């Protein structure tokens, strides 16, 4: 069931990742990749957000009229395991209800490229979600981007901090594009309709 929030309240769409060029292509940074594409779509460029340790773009998505939504796109510039602090600061500054926060993140327990949209729930060992939940509770939306499990005996930490394999990169742009579509649909149409379209 969708949570009712004020229709004029902004949405905060957070791409999770680690700052710095050495992490840019990592599986763990797919949230940043989706946020970058969303920023491109609204015609904005990420800039430092006041005192918050984050970069933001403000814009609007959706057709003209009641479905048009004010959004703040954000990339925390702390490391992944400290994401909650910057997101909480933005939540307070922009007066965003928790139910209007969307975290876009990598998900180990879903096959590569598969999306799952949900509201609330656990963090499944994801340090970015763990930090956000500690900061303001679990009742925010998630766009979970499947990256699959590490092969063989590779450690999870090594796997998520590696770049996508060349075989995966062939489809990465398509999957990132689809995740951006899913985030937009979630904000414009609501969770249930977006799940019906994108939860494959």
Active site residues: 28
Residue where the block lists tokens 């450690």: 155
- Please give the Cα distance from 81 to 87 (Å, whole number): 12
Phi-psi region of 194 (alpha: psi -120 to 50; beta: other; left: phi over 0): alpha
State the angle between helix axes of 191-198 and 166-189 in degrees (0 to 180), rounded to the nearest 10: 150
Q: 3-class SS at 143?
A: strand
Per-position DSSP letters for 11-30, written without gaps between them:
EEEEE----SGGGTTBGGGH
Residue where the block lists tokens 């963090």: 123
By CB atoms closer than 10 A (0-12, 13-18, 19+), residue 185 is buried
The DSSP element (H or E) to which 157 belongs, if any, is helix 156-160
């Amino acid at each position: 069931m969708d949570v009712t929030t004020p229709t004029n309240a902004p949405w905060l769409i957070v791409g999770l990742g680690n700052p710095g060029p050495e992490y840019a292509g990592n599986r763990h940074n797919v949230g940043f990749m989706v946020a970058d594409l969303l920023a491109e779509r609204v015609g904005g460029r990420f800039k430092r957000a006041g005192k918050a340790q984050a970069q933001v773009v403000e814009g609007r998505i959706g057709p003209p009229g009641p479905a048009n939504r004010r959004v703040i796109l954000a990339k925390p510039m702390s490391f992944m395991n400290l994401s909650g602090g910057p997101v909480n600061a933005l939540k307070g500054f922009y007066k965003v209800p928790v139910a209007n926060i969307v975290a876009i993140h990598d998900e180990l327990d879903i096959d590569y490229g598969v999306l799952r949209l949900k509201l609330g729930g656990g963090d499944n060992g994801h340090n970015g979600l763990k930090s956000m939940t500690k900061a303001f509770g679990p009742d925010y939306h998630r766009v979970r981007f499947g990256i699959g499990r590490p092969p063989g005996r590779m450690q999870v930490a090594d796997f998520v901090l590696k770049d996508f394999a060349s075989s995966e990169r062939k489809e990465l742009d398509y999957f990132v594009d689809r995740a951006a579509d899913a985030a937009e649909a979630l904000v414009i149409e609501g969770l249930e309709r977006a799940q019906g379209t994108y939860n494959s």
